[in-house]
Amino acid sequence: MNDVDAVTRLIDIARQLALSRPRFLDIKGAGHGDRDTSEFMRELRREIEAQLPGAKAEQRICGKNSFAVDFFLPEQAAVVEVALSLRNSSTEFERDILKVLLAQDQGCNIKRLVFISKPGALKRLGEPAPAAIIEWAKRRHDLVVEIHEIGAPAVQQRDEADEARDR
pLDDT in tens, the chain (167 residues): 444 489 999 999 999 999 888 777 777 777 877 888 889 999 999 999 999 999 999 988 877 888 899 999 999 999 999 998 888 776 789 999 999 999 999 899 999 999 999 888 999 999 999 999 999 999 999 999 999 998 744 443 334 444 444 44
36: CB partners within 8 A, 6+ apart:
21, 24, 28
The predicted pLDDT at position 158 comes to 36
The predicted pLDDT at position 33 comes to 75
Spans of all domains in the chain: 3-166
Beta bridge partners of 71: 57, 80
Q: Residue 9 burial by CB count (10 A; 0-12/13-18/19+): exposed, middle or buried?
A: middle
Nearest to 96 by CA among 125, 53, 127, 139: 125
Whole-number Å distance between alpha carbons of 100 and 65? 13
Is 83 within 8 Å of 44 (Cβ atoms)? Answer: no
Q: Is 164 helix (H, G, I), strand (E, B) or coil?
A: helix
Model's pTM, two decimal places? 0.81
The predicted pLDDT at position 37 comes to 86
The predicted pLDDT at position 155 comes to 41
Q: What angle do CA 16, 46, 150 make, to 5 degrees?
A: 25
Strand stretches in 6-157, DSSP E: 56-59, 69-73, 78-82, 112-117, 144-149
